[in-house]
Structure formats: structure tokens, C-alpha cells
Amino acid sequence: MHTRDLEPKAIWNHFEDINAVPRPSKQEERIIQFMIDFGNNLGLETTRDAIGNVIIKKPASKGFENKKTVILQSHIDMVHQKNAATNFDFNKEGIRSFIDGDWVKAEGTTLGADNGMGVAASMSLLSSTEINHPPLEALFTIDEETGMTGAKELDGSKLSGEILLNLDTEDDDEFSVGCAGGIDTNTIYKYNQEAVPTNYAAFTIEIKGLKGGHSGMDIHLGRGNSNLWMNRVLYYLSTTADIRICELEGGSLRNAIPRESFGTFVCPSANMDEVSKAFNEISAIILQEFSITEPQAVINFERKEEKPLEMMNSEDQKKAIATIYTTPNGVWTMSEKIEGLVETSSSLAKVIFRDGEFITKSLQRSMIESGKRDIANALKLAYELIGAEVKQGGDYPGWAPNPDSAILKILKEKYIQLFDDSPKIAACHAGLECGILSKHLPNCDMISFGPTIRNPHSPDEKVNIKSVQKFWSFLVKVLEDIPSKN
């Protein structure tokens, strides 16, 4: 059975259509044009604002003309990440999805259900001739995953909706009414290099097979961070011999928990057996500690015949390893207002040692502005202590929950009516665009919901088939109950 044969066919076919179009963040021109063509081919009013967001408007169904206008919002970019062993060109190939039991997955890459499912649902409503609905304004934003540029630069004058449905959450029994803000911290430290002595030997270390995942939604799950693992190994080995970094790279995307790290190192040839023994000791310790959360993790050590020409200066390396070791990572504080909600966190997403530069990229998140600033300062000051250049940017606000939201009340009542159960009302520790969009659309009542998605931002991403059916039926029924204009 092919994904296109799943029900509801409209959503799955639109999903496959957009997954055939490469759509990485900051390179969305192809998917932007695809969406413009889609709207124009339906004969609907279709515009593109200055930053690249696409807006497609559809008049109300007969009898629904006096209902409030609803904005259907989702982002058209996706995280492009693949396993190291996967042969795939994101710039040329479409995502290869397949059915695995109750789930749809991709072959060795991210699936794009985040936020392709929301995009496909909006497309299904725009293309339908049978579904009753109020006036619709489908807003497809760009660059959500790497800075929320589309939301930040939105031309709000092009929209008139009073209700915004953000179709970008990951549990079909949950409504999001708030989200974390975030800020990127990027650092560069220029280090001195030395010639590798003739009596030194080379070896490689690779860490792979970690689960990774979304650095906001999954940060509380205790998953391994490949950058921290590699640094821990190096620190341990450095207590046995003069280990030097020649080249190292770990992690991939700013908003994903790093899954892999690879490095080339040297040490005195006479100490190689000691180093190998120490590696076996520390790798066994780490794998045992994470045996439950990271059962597929692998840490490999291999001697290397070809020796690099240069290695990192010893004092610079001590500073770098110490700084990484003390870098805040994971959950910083939990919310005192919402049980079980991470309030503030940080994720060390990328570490590079190459050509005399030690580079890190990390993302700090918080439900409160003061918490975001506090942990961002902790990162900034730690790296400035060793003389690194620190740049912070991509700052975006959180979305404060509104307990008096009218659309929340409508959705709760409809959910109970349809599913004979109460939905979870939550704020999420991730960056939803609602926080930014509310600045452009101050009079808009907003809420976020979607189908069940697991492991977004990683090659293990998957979407539950039954939850897509549930999400679709719920969305259709909600649109029938939108209140009339005042």
C-alpha cells in the first residue's frame, strides 16, 4: 500500500506532493512557487508578501458568509537531516516515505510531517468543494525552523482573520495555548595549531546512533548529546596521555539534539595502548549510563595510518574542553505554574574544531523572557571567559497562554463531543509562530493543534496514520462551529 492510498486521501496526496519539492529553511523558492501555483490553479486569491510568505484566500461556503474569518497557519519549510549512511540529496530528491504499521516514516531522512501535515490539511480545505467552512485565509510561512523569519517579517495588513488555527503541534489530544521563546548563541574561538610530532600516532572516534530529536519538545527525555559525549571521552583520555584534536565535527542543526560526532586525534605512539584502554573504559561507562534512553548508540575507536599535519595547541584545547564540559545543556528550570512543563533549557547543537577555529552553535529556550536572558547570559559569559567571540541572535518571543480564549472553549467542547474525552491543554517548550504572529495580529484569537508526530528534526521522524484521520475530522468539525461576526 502506498502512502497516497491512505485516508483521508486529500491530505496524504497533498503531503506527498509537497514532499516531492525540496524545501529546506532559507531555500524555499521552489515550495513558494509551488504554493502560488496551487492557489492560482484553484482560482483563489493568492499573494506573496515581501519576505516570501504565501497567503491564499477562499470565500465562505454558502450560508457561512457571516462567520468570522479563520486564518489557517502552517510553515512550508522543513528540517533536512539524514543518517550518515543514507545516500540522499535534499536539493534534488523528494522525500521517500513509506508505511510502517501505524506510522508513516521516511527512508533514512526527516519525513517533513513537521509541518507538512499542517500544510497538507490547509491545502485540502482550499481544494475541497464539499466541506462547509467560514471565510478562510491560509497563511504559509517560511523559515520557521531556522529563525521564524516569515513570522517575524509578516505583512499583517494582508490578513483580516479574527481566529488563527496554527496546525503545528505533535499530539492529537493536546491543544497548545502557549510556547517558549528562543535565542541562538554562536561562538568562535581562534586557537593555535602545532605540527604533529613524528612520534605521534593518529586515531579516530565516532559517536553515532543516538536518537536526537527536537531540542525543545524532547529536551526533557534525557537523550544523549553527541557533542557532550565526545567531549567527555576526550577529557577522560586526556588524563592518560597528551591527546590532541586535529579535526572534529559534531551535530547538525541548531534546533535538533545532536546525534553524531566524528573526530581525528593524535597522541604519542608509546601511549596508544593506554589510550585505547581508557577509551574502552569511558565508552562502556557512557553506554551503560544511557542504556535505556540510547540503546542503539555506538562509540567507535579506530587507529589511523595516515597522520594529520597539525594539531591543536595544548592550552587552547584545555580551555575548549573545559568550556564545553561546563556549558549549560538540557533542562535548566521547570515551570512552577504548569506541572511537567520545561520552563528554560539549552541545547549544544553543534561543535566544530577545524583550521584553527573552535565553533559552537546552541539554542536557548524559555517560557519566560527573564529565563531566556538568564541562560543565554550563562552561555555568553562562559565562552567569553576563554576569549571567544560570542554572537547572539534569532531572538523570538514566547506566547503567553490566554485562559479566556474563546476559540479554546470552542475546541474543547467540540473535542469532548466528538471523542468523549477531554483534551490536554498545554503550553509547549518549543518555538511556535503564534508568539510572533500575535505581534502582527494583536486582535486575533490563536490556538495550536495537529496530528501525532514523533521524533521531529531527526531521521526517525514519523506521523501516526490514525491521528491524521482524527486531526482532519476534528478540524473540519471545528470550522463548522466558528461563531458569527459581532
Annotated catalytic residues are: 77, 144
- Cell numbers of 164, please? 488563527
- Cell numbers of 97, please? 516515505
- Characterize 150-182 residue by residue with b for buried, 16 or more Cβ atoms within 10 angstroms of its Cβ, and e for exposed: bbbbbeeeebebbbbbbbbbbbbebbbbbbbbb
Cβ contact 111:461 at 8 Å: yes
Residue labelled with grid coordinates 567527555:
232
| Residue of 455, 464, 463 lying closest to 214 (CA atoms) | 455
In single-letter form, the type of residue at position 390 comes to: V
- The C-alpha atoms of residue 75 and residue 347 are separated, in whole angstroms, by 23
- Characterize 104-140 residue by residue with b for buried, 16 or more Cβ atoms within 10 angstroms of its Cβ, and e for exposed: bbbebbbbbbbbbbbbbbbbbbbbeeeeebbbbbbbb
H/E element, 318: helix 314-326
| Alpha-carbon radius of gyration of the chain | 24
Cβ contact 378:187 at 8 Å: no
Contacts 24+ apart (CB under 8 A), 6-9: 6/99, 6/104, 6/465, 6/468, 7/469, 8/124, 8/468, 8/469, 8/472
| Residue of 208, 196, 231, 194 lying closest to 306 (CA atoms) | 196
- The C-alpha atoms of residue 171 and residue 73 are separated, in whole angstroms, by 17
Q: What is the DSSP string of 122-138?
A: HHHHHH-SS-----EEE
- Cell numbers of 346, please? 539549552
Q: What is the DSSP string of 436-464?
A: HHHHH-TT-EEEE----EESTTSTT-EEE
Residue 484 DSSP code:
B
Pairing of strands 54-58, 70-75: unpaired
Cβ contact 34:119 at 8 Å: no
Cβ contact 462:114 at 8 Å: no
Residue 144 DSSP code:
T
